[in-house]
Every structure is written in structure tokens, then in C-alpha cells.
Chain A
Amino acid sequence: MRKISLDKLNQLFSKIAETQTLYMPVDTKTGARYEKWEEGKELSDALNTVRSAKDFFFPQTENLMDFKMEGKNIEIIDTRNEAEDFVIFGVRACDVKSFEILDRVFLADPADSYYENRRNHGTIVSMACTRPVETCFCQTFDIDAASPEGDVVCHKTDDALYLEAKSDKGEALLNSLNDVTEDTDGSAVDEQVKTVHERMSRLPLASLSADAFGADKTKEFFDRPEWAELSQSCLGCGTCTFVCPTCQCYDIKDFNTGHGVKRFRCWDSCMYSNFTKMSAGQPRLTQVERFRQRFMHKLVYYPTNNDGLFSCVGCGRCLSKCPIQMNIVKVMKKLGGKSND
């Protein structure tokens, strides 16, 4: 394990930025967000960024390809040029876990080469949480906020940052930082992890359980009458899906620039009324079906296809962002029976 005192963090960042693009959460008036680090920017202590870290691998909008149209002829132009290595610094345990959940979709055969390319170029430096809040429920999904996964795992104490490599990529990154870090044992970290575990056990949602849900339970939950009540005031907006680190539905659209056609991919939402609309019909006619789809996907369908892994990481973004304050916790409590209390 390596360590660096907090007053030297800037040296650490500028060292990383010498060879790779460095992104980290910084505070803004409207909450923390990932920004490219440059001299003067400070690492935010915020628990979560407003937008999740999925943008780095699955951006909201991306140009997939261009088309040149001439008469009856079409030329397809591959527009990709992303070849830069980058480091995402300070990713919380929940968001790190979301990458595994996204990987299982995007990297499943046939892999999405756009996503895969970014994934290969990115190094994840995670940051253990110290002050989880009332909207946190990562432990419901067996995520340890105090000891996240990642290529490099960081723990921040009052005076120092502790760094530990967990992969070859992480090893390489840490080795390149030997000039500015020093060797240390993990005792300070162990102490902090203990404190945070104790804090996590006292969180209001600490006893929320997902045990009622999981693989192959479609029939058990699909026709439950509670869906109507749960979804009755849903606006059908995409806020939950767009702030969610694991939502990965997308649309592919063409945009005629006047000089050619750009085909781009953008986030889409199963909550939208036109998501499944075809010229021939619409399998999800009302918001009840759309709402059900989103939560069935996270709690049943995804686990069915992915060895029981849930497609929620308990980051709590939907809890704080839904315009009508409906969210997966309320859904789980309503449908899962005696989960809490």
C-alpha cells in the first residue's frame, strides 16, 4: 500500500496528468460532477456526482459513424478516434460496481466495440466512502462502500490518501507514482474501514433486502397488482434512467447535418412512451407497463440473464432525483414484503 499526505494531492494529480487524461469529481454550485483535472481543480468530497460515472464508457450522445450520400451511392465513414488513456479518479464503490453490470451487457458477445475501446483505455481509481447517507443502500447488493473494487482503491483519512493496486492496470499506475507516494502499512485504513462499517450498519436503509427478488422470478412479480399503484403518479420522464449508473438502454438516430448524415447513439429510457412504439403496435401501452419494465429489469430480468446479479447498485441517485419521489426502494418494500423495519 502507498500513501501521500493530503497537502501533496496536487503533486499526485499532476503526475498522473503528465501521461494520461485525469478526470475527477469536482464541486460545482449544482452538485459534484466529473471534470478533466487541471491545475487548481480540487477533488470533491461529495458522496456522489449528480451524473454517474457511466458517461465515461457510455456517453449520453456519441457519433457512431458518418455517411456520405451521393446520388444512389453511400459511403460509410468510421469516425472513431478515441485512443487516449485516461484515469477516472475517486469513483465510489456503487459506481465501480455499475461498470461490471454494464460490462455484462456491452461486452457480451458480440461486444460493443465503442464501449470496449473506452473500457480498455480507462483506469478506475476508486474512493472508499466515509460518510454514507440516508439514501445509500449499496449493502443491499453486497457492495462494500468502505472497500470498493477498482484498478486502484483509495482511502482518504484526515491527513492522507492511501492507495492500493488491485489489477495490473492499477499496478502500472501506482508504480508510475512512486516518486510522489511512500510505502505504508494498512493500519490506518483498517481502522477507517471498521468505522465506516459501523456507520453503514446504522443507515436507515441498512436492512433493505433484495432477497425476495432475483433470477427466474418473472411469474412471481409480473402480474402483481401493486404495479398500478406504484406507477400511478409516474410522470414518464427519464430522470431515474438517466441518473442511474446501470441503466443502459439506448437509441440509434440519424441526423442530417445538411452536409451528410451522422448516425449517433444516445441514452434512451424504457419509461418513455415511444420506447417500444412500432408502426405495427405498442407492447407497453401505459405507464404501468413501462414502469414495471424498468424495475422488473433491475430486479428480475437482469439477474435471470446474469447469474443472479442485480442491476442496481444502491447509489441512491433516483431517490434524490425522481420528480415524484418514487424509486426502487419504495418498489422493493412494496413488492418484497417484509424487507425492512
Chain B
Amino acid sequence: MIDIKEPLIPVVGVVTDIRIDTPDVKTFRVVTPDGKKAFEHMPGQCAMLSIPGVGEAMFSITSSPTNTEFMEFSIKKCGCVTQWLHSMEVGQQITIRGPYGHPFPVDTEFAGHDMLFIAGGIGLAPLRSVINYCRHYRDRYGKIDIVYGSRSMQDLVDYKEIIDEWSKDAGVNVHLTIDREQPEWDGHVGFVPNYVKELGFSTDKIAILCGPPIMIKFTLAGLLELGFDKTQVYTTMELRMKCGIGKCGRCNIGSKYVCKDGPVFRFDEIDELPDEY
């Protein structure tokens, strides 16, 4: 499904905008030097970004494919490459290649369904692409619920977009939560898994989970308690990657390569994989 003649050779991308989302997350807008999108993608797919001399790393594409002008990447500072990316200024060139991996089945399995998005922290990044895709093709999907939590109010990624756009859409319900009380916060306080159970969703929908492993673990358990089946719940995974095309050999879980066969998995598929991720 990947149509890339030179899968390891990137193209040059220019960073045209840098948005500071949280103290450790920035969102980078990238276009080619002639101002176009580097390539087309589907929600859930990833791209390899690199700074020559520093390294290359895989990131999920956080903008929706329906955005025809540019691509965006929300990136948390945690390693060599991300630190460098965070120190960039607008106008800096980087390299980009992709898209990699299987996207969320937005036009098939998701079509016609109510959608429940559950994210924790930077886990919103890969979901933002799907959420905005669903919002763009609003009539193709039913009701949309978004449960999103972070450590604090300041750690909520895309807060402005969530408040100014998502929560104002008809048929979209946004449920935000933060881990601990804050004076300027009048919303819900508590961990995501508990909040999901408190909200108590009906099981006639597709759920997509993304966040830290511990959140995934307890949220999934909560959803199963509510009566969800594993075939209704999706997530997107991340392991160390170098090639992006299933050849360098390091991102496998059993016989599946996260870069090629994932990163999107349904939980009944994950059950078939050995416990090594």
C-alpha cells in the first residue's frame, strides 16, 4: 500500500510554524520548500522526521489528511531528536519521509458509527488526525465523544482547538479531565480510566485509545466492564523504528511489525500478539 520509490531517501521539509502546546509539547507545521504537502496520508499513519547529524525518528501525523495545505506533528520532548526539534526556529529545514503504516479504518469499519476517542497526554496527537477527519466528514459518523486527560491544564495538548472548535461542533461532546486540582480549573479532576467509567458510555460505538501504557491498560479494562468488545476498541502503538518499512527488524511484536502492520491495532488483534511491547 506504500507507493514510495525510494523508501529510505527523504525529501526536504520546511518548518513554517511552531506552536507551543504545553511545557514539553510543540506542534510543528511542515511543507516542502515549494509550499506543498510532502505527501498524502490517512489518519493514524506516521512519518519519519530527521535532522541530519542528529537522527531520524518516527512520529504520527497529527494533522488530518483533509488539510490540503500542510502537515502537522505534535511532538513531546523526550530524546535526542525531539530535543533538537524543540530547539528549532521557524524556517528551519528538516527531512521527511513517509507515510508509513496502516491507518485507522476511517472509511470502512468506522463509517456510520458513533465514535469514542480516549486520550491521555501526548496520546491525543495521533487521535487529532482521526478526530478532525471525522469532523470534516461529519455526516459519515454518528455522535462523537472525546475524553481527554492530562497531568495538568497546562499539559493538555491542542487546548485552544479543543475549546474553540471541537467542543462547539454539533454532535461532538468533549470531556476533559486533569490529574490534580488546580485553582484555575473548574472541570473534572481525576484519571482518565475512572472518568470513562463515570461517564458510562453505551457500547454501540467504536472506541479509540491512545496514551501511556498504564492508562491504556486500565481504560481498556474499564471499557470491557462497560460491555465493550475488544473488536470495537482500537489503539496505535509505538516501538523503536529505523526504516519504517518492515525491514530493519526492531519494531516487531511477534511476527507483526508495528511500522508496517501497525501502528493501528484492534485489541482483539493485540491479544494474538505475544506480550512484548
Contact = CB atoms under 8 A, between A and B. Distances in A.
B108 interface: no
Contact of A72 (B55, B78, B92): B92
B270 interface: no
A283 B274 contact: no
A78 B255 contact: no
A306 B250 CA distance: 18
Contacts of A256: 53
Interface string A25-67: 0000000000000000000000000000000000000001101
B167 interface: no
**For the side of the interface on B, what is the size category?**
35 or more
Interface of A is mostly: mixed
B5 interface: yes
B145 to A, nearest CB: 27
A74 B94 contact: yes
A291 B222 CA distance: 35
B78 A280 contact: yes
Interface stretch (B131-139, B184-192, B237-245): B237-245
Those 4 A-B pairs whose CB atoms lie nearest each other, nearest first: A249-B249, A279-B79, A67-B52, A304-B255
Given A72-B91, A222-B254, A301-B255, A110 B52 contact: no
A8 interface: no
Contacts of B238: 278, 280
A268 B91 contact: no
Contacts of B242: 250-252, 268
A322 to B, nearest CB: 20
Interface of A: 64-65, 67, 69, 72-76, 78, 105-106, 108-114, 218-219, 222-223, 248-254, 256, 261, 263, 265, 268, 270, 275-281, 283-284, 289, 293, 296-297, 300-302, 304-305
Interface string B229-259: 0000000001110110111111111110000
B52 A113 contact: no
Looking at B11, B52, B239, B240, the one whose CB has the most chain A CB atoms below 10 A away is B52
Contacts of A265: 8
B276 interface: yes
A108 B6 contact: no
Contacts of A289: 276
A100 to B, nearest CB: 16
Nearest to B238: A280
B95 interface: yes
B265 to A, nearest CB: 15
Interface string B70-84: 000000001110100
B4 interface: yes
A249 B248 contact: yes
A1 B11 CA distance: 50
Given A67-B52, A218-B273, A268-B248, 15 more contacts: A75-B12, A108-B246, A111-B7, A113-B5, A113-B8, A114-B8, A249-B250, A250-B242, A250-B248, A275-B240, A276-B240, A276-B251, A279-B79, A280-B78, A293-B252
Nearest to B12: A74
B158 interface: no
Contacts of A296: 254
B269 to A, nearest CB: 13
B2 interface: yes
B9 interface: yes
A112 B247 contact: yes
Contact of B8 (A112, A261, A280): A112
